[in-house]
A and B are shown apart, each in its own frame.
Chain A
Amino acid sequence: MIDYLIRRLVGTIPVLLAVSLFVFLFVHLLPGDPARLVAGPDATPQDIAAVRADMGLDRPLVVQYLRYLGQTVQFQLGRSIKTHQTVAELIGERFMPTLLLTVFAMVWSVIGGVAVGVLSGVKRGRWQDQLAMVLAISGISFPGFWLGLLLIDLFSVRLGWLPTGGYESWQSFVLPAFTLGTGVAAVMARFTRSAFVEITAEDYVRTARAKGVPERLVVWKHTLRNALIPVITLTGLQFGFLLGGAIVVETVFAWPGLGRLLVDSVSYRDYPVIQAEILLFSFEFVLINLIVDLLYAVVNPEIRLR
């Protein structure tokens, strides 16, 4: 297991380096002088010169990249063009709301999605299955931002039960987390169902039934436990979907998180913030997938031996 852990950790490093290289080159890919772009539209020539010296733009690209890496590791991510705060500060303020939102969304969508998927698998072909799968394909096709607006319209504007947006109390989490998790729950339900149905066809499940194991045990012990293994991997992949979805859902609910910061920064061309945010989101995604892979290896010893 330790061996596998080390191999996977080492294997992640090139991906992280490549992602950071992409993000580093980002500002250089933009048309025009990177120093001028980073300094912002109102910068004086002195400001631009200062930024150029600060970014080391006169040095070779390789040296610049290594400097960028060094600064990133120390969380020196530059300053926002718009607010002049340090990017690390800005991101620090916005980090928790997004983390909480995605975690709540993930928790409900995994529990809800797996439960619906298992129900569908057990009742295969019956009305419960058909209803669940109609809901699931609809959930995948439903635009999250529209769902958010519909929920606001019903629960906030008409019924007045929940706030339309903001980040104050537990009530303000309900609608955004539900909206964000819907797509993932739908994917989870479909995937769990197909994994469940596949395992049900296995010989050992038939054997268990044939020797008279009670149906409840067949479902819980023989089928579900094995069906959940691929579901774990999917959970990691779906987390990326959630991070992306948070960008849109935060805009709908005026949520003070990283997603809305990113959208605002893109509209304002606040490149230092954009660069840092893209890096952060990608690192988060890569690391979550690493954790999921490790969990997967804990559950399924076969993986470790490869």
Chain B
Amino acid sequence: MSDVALATPTIRSPSAEFWRRFRRKHVALLSGGVLLLLIVAAAAAPWIAPYGPTTPDYDSVLAGPSWQHLCGTDTFGRDIFSRILWGGRISLTVGFVSVALGGLAGVVLGLVSGFFGGLVDGFIMRLMDVLLAFPGILLAIGVVALLGPGIDNVIYAIAVFSVPVFARLVRGSTLALKQTLYVQAARSIGVRAPMLMLRHILPGTLPSVIVYCSLRVGTSILTAAALSFIGLGAPPPSPEWGTMLAEGRSYLGVADQITLFPGIAIFVTVLAFNLLGDGLRDALDQKLR
């Protein structure tokens, strides 16, 4: 490829071009920074949280924000700031793990489906259609109903809910990439199907998969919080953000800090993932044009 670059010096490698575009997306960069901060804060919760996530303090119940308790305390006098830090571990884990599981399954199914076509494709895609026929959070609720409530099951539930989206996405790009000259060339010199898929097609599908992952982690965190809020996710006294909001419902107008701060935590995290995903997508899209 280097001689091509010499002939027309303005052509950059796709990744360099992508980075050049992405660097200008200040909002997306900022979001990435915020996410990094959130991840570090959640990971370091045991060391930086001023109080334990479930340590009660009956002398300061329902206290407003102060220097002792940055975000105030809840009905048991637990420090809301510390609970949010600990809860971040749960939300981020659920987001990343469920998308990793669902994404992996979806990518494999999409690759196989698009590559082999025919009956295999028909079968896999009809299966995905059926999964997509269960609207939104319903599929996750069905899985939770099967496996029982709890945060581990929420991860599986949300993973299942992500599979069809990734499968469709990857199938689409696989169909396009299968026709490209370099894949045809590799095939003609006898490269086997698994190698073709992994070495030659998969890398081409990854950019859109990564963009989708970012958007999907945000959605997954939102879904997990919603499941916990309706009582099907992490049970109290877990510091899961949705669970905290559910616990604060009865104290609206009395102790708004119980719902306010976990709400902000969910919103900021999901917003950051969405803005990062948007920025990544725009940077990639422009490269394609």
Contact = CB atoms under 8 A, between A and B. Distances in A.
Contact of A18 (B130, B141, B253): B130
Interface centre among B218, B229, B232 (most CB of A within 10 A): B229
B230 A251 contact: yes
Contacts of B129: 15, 18
Interface residues of B, number: 40
Contact of B278 (A137, A143, A149): A137
A263 B232 contact: yes
Contacts of A106: none
Q: Is the interface of B mostly helix, strand, loop or mixed?
A: helix
Contacts of B127: 18
Looking at chain A, what size class is its interface with the partner chain?
A: 35 or more
B90 to A, nearest CB: 15
A146 B133 contact: no
Nearest to B256: A153
A143 B133 contact: no
Nearest to A14: B126
A196 interface: no
A143 B136 contact: no
Contacts of A149: 245, 248-249, 252, 259, 263
A138 interface: yes
Q: Is the interface of A mostly helix, strand, loop or mixed?
A: helix
Interface in A64-96: none
Given A251-B230, A282-B134, A262 B141 contact: yes
Interface string A231-260: 000000001110111011001100000000
Interface in A136-165: 137-138, 140-146, 149-150, 152-153, 157-158
B144 interface: yes
Contacts of A266: 141, 144-145, 149, 232
Contact of B146 (A26, A138, A144, A286): A26
Interface of B: 126-127, 129-130, 133-138, 141-142, 144-146, 149, 218, 222, 225-226, 229-232, 242, 245, 248-249, 252-253, 256, 259, 263, 266-267, 270-271, 274-275, 278
5 contacts: A145-B226, A149-B263, A152-B252, A240-B135, A241-B136
Interface of A: 14-15, 18-19, 22, 26, 29-30, 137-138, 140-146, 149-150, 152-153, 157-158, 239-241, 243-245, 247-248, 251-252, 262-263, 266-267, 269, 271, 274, 278, 281-282, 284-286
Given A137-B275, A149-B263, A278-B141, 13 more contacts: A143-B266, A146-B267, A152-B252, A247-B138, A247-B141, A252-B249, A262-B141, A263-B232, A266-B149, A267-B232, A278-B134, A281-B138, A282-B135
